[in-house]
Amino acid sequence: MTTPTYPHRRRLLPMLLGSGVLLLAACQPDTAAAPRPDTSGTPAAASPPTSPPARAAATDVGLTAGQRLTILADTLASTPADTTTDLPYTYLHLQTWARATNRIVRSDVRRWRHADGSGREVIRRAPDLAGVEHQPGPDERSLFDRAAPTTRRHQPGGLHPYLSEPVPADPARLARLLVPAELVGEPAYPRLLAGGVIGLATSQHLDRSQRATALRVLARIPGITYGGPTTDLAARAGLAFRVAAEGSTTVLVIDPSTGELLAAHERVSGIRPGLFSHVLVLTRGHTTDTATPPTAG
């Protein structure tokens, strides 16, 4: 299968497109059967999940993953960063583990971006790991604090968002922007759509409404399943959702209150099985300049 190239988005994918499958003991299997991909020619992403029962909670027994994600989208809370959207710079702090041929590259990235594409990045690199069969652990995070920082300054147009603003409010339209409609019936479609949502959430700030739309896109992914309550490498509590497609298993950890993506990880099988990538989204917000992170968010 040949996948079309989208210059801005594809540049982000090697570092940000999901990651290793950290299947924690707290995760529980879905209580409902996962839907099969629709290969009839009707875009699977255009069919929303069955509406959940009234007053249901996302962790209730007997719900599908799509119903749980719909509940999260309908009930998510605002964050402090949702009230500071008038400030000129968005801020994201990420920690990533990314496959690069035969090694794992470990990076801590702090990124300030203006709407005109200018901004600043501060990157710290922990030593690369030989091989790709690696399971990131919480103890590795301290390595970033000991690494020397590298600063990159970007002129207008140098820092591209994953998608042009504003992010669409319609889930079907957002899904088509993340993955072309002609790929809907392909085996890799669930993986690509999950990766698109991850790329979006790890590239630009999403407000409350945009987070809800992203959750509704996840709810439409063919075969997505619920993994139960879990924690990420930063010891934050979340709900796990899995997407298995074309020799890949991606796990997304979602904050059950705000609907924010806390972490995502992907492992692949095949000729070179192992970790594909792992990302933690540690801080989001807005700020007045590129010197300091936001005080809240």
Q: What are 157-201's pLDDT values in tens digits? A: 999 899 998 999 999 999 999 999 999 999 999 999 999 999 999
Q: Give 14's pLDDT tier (boundaries 50, 70, 90).
A: very low
Those residues whose C-beta lies under 8 Å from the C-beta of residue 49, and which sit 6 or more positions away, are 64, 66, 67, 69, 70, 219, 220
What size, in residues, is the chain?
A: 297
Which stretches of the chain are DSSP H helices?
7-16, 65-75, 141-145, 171-178, 189-201, 208-219
Q: Among 255, 213, 258, which residue's Cα sits nearest to residue 238?
A: 255
Greater pLDDT, 48 or 274: 274
Give the Cα separation of 209 and 32 in Å (integer): 28
Residue position matching structure tokens 């922990």: 126
Instruction: Output phi, psi for 244, to 5 deg.
Output: -115, 120
Q: What are 59-94's pLDDT values in tens digits? A: 999 999 999 999 999 999 999 999 998 999 999 999
- With a cut of 60, say whether residue 213 has pLDDT above it: yes
DSSP symbol at 139: G
Q: What are 228-261's pLDDT values in tens digits? A: 999 999 999 999 999 999 999 999 999 999 999 9
| DSSP codes, 194-220 | HHHHHHHHTTS---HHHHHHHHHHHHT
The pLDDT of residue 16: 39
- Contact by Cβ (8 Å): 239, 85: no
Those residues whose C-beta lies under 8 Å from the C-beta of residue 231, and which sit 6 or more positions away, are 24, 26, 237, 238
Longest dimension (CA), the chain: 53
What value does the mean pLDDT take over residues 105-126?
97
